[in-house]
Chains A and B, each alone.
Chain A
Amino acid sequence: MKARVHVMLKNGVLDPQGEAVRHALGALGFDKVEGVRQGKVIDLDLAEGATEADVTAMCEKLLANTVIESYSIEMA
């Protein structure tokens, strides 16, 4: 059983790394990029019986800092 967690900075929180990537893309001639946000993907290998609620608890306690980050979970 697997879960994939996406962690992104919340809207309204400045993402200087995303901004730097946007500038670099512009410098390479990719002139149609209007914004870049950079985040993290965390893949979890889970034992049988683990639930999405377990992964939510993991996100709340450790994987995301909800002061600045939002997260989404894909169970597979």
Chain B
Amino acid sequence: MKAAVVVFPGSNCDRDLAVAFEQAGFDVSMVWHKDSALPEGVDIVGVPGGFSYGDYLRCGAIAAQSPICKAVIAHADRGGYAIGVCNGFQILTETGVLPGALLRNAGLKYICRTVNLKVTTSESVFTQGYNAGDVIGVPIAHHDGNFFADADTVKALQDQDRVAFTYEDNPNGSVADIAGILSENRRVLGMMPHPERAADEGHGGTDGAAVFRALAGMVTAA
């Protein structure tokens, strides 16, 4: 079971994500943004949170053009698994791997606190460790987490059961309370909340650990 975590200048959750993967049993390699290939045999790619390239132009816009992102897009196009958290979600929307975009929070404030999420679907490798309807506490830490997509896209996400998580009490203005979404083949998850920061007793909560445990189970079984 191999995971790769991409590191951009300005990433700050890369090591947290690596630890969460390791605790679930993955061998983790860190991959620098200038690399143009992922390590051989990688099962899942993690795109971490942070402020890649200082959020210049738009959050994730410059990172989306980096050499490693071409490899991440190719990995996703091949049907590979990937998870993007926070800035990683922004990057995956900027690359077009996931639909929509993340706008400035409706209240204009950076928000850093634990929020309640509803698991909207258990039909994915990321959420199969939960039951649909479960409510979990996971931290958010973002200024630009206001998910936006046009009405047709939102309807498609809902109709295809591709909304992974919704906010119980919408903190940032996201359309339809959406906190995380799945790609069409359900193998790429993007979410603003940080499951890797709720994956160890030391974090004050472990509600996010099931994401990584479930992934490990999936890859082992495959």
Which residues of A are at the interface with B, using a C-beta cutoff of 8 A? 9, 13-14, 16-17, 20, 61-63, 65, 67-68
Contact = CB atoms under 8 A, between A and B. Distances in A.
28 contacts: A9-B103, A13-B103, A13-B148, A14-B103, A14-B106, A14-B146, A14-B173, A16-B103, A16-B105, A16-B107, A16-B146, A17-B104, A17-B108, A61-B65, A62-B57, A62-B61, A65-B58, A65-B61, A65-B94, A67-B93, A67-B99, A67-B101, A67-B148, A67-B149, A67-B150, A68-B101, A68-B103, A68-B148
Interface in B89-139: 93-94, 99-101, 103-108
A6 to B, nearest CB: 14
A48 to B, nearest CB: 25
Contacts of A68: 101, 103, 148
A16 B94 contact: no
Contacts of B94: 65
B103 A63 contact: no
Interface of B: 57-58, 61, 65, 93-94, 99-101, 103-108, 146, 148-150, 173
Q: Top 4 nearest A-B pairs by Cβ distance?
A: A67-B101, A68-B101, A16-B108, A16-B106
B62 to A, nearest CB: 8
B63 to A, nearest CB: 12
B53 to A, nearest CB: 12
Contacts of A65: 58, 61, 94, 101
Nearest to A20: B108
A65 B94 CA distance: 7
Given A20-B108, A65-B61, A65-B101, 5 more contacts: A13-B148, A14-B173, A16-B146, A17-B104, A62-B65
B137 to A, nearest CB: 26
A21 B58 CA distance: 20
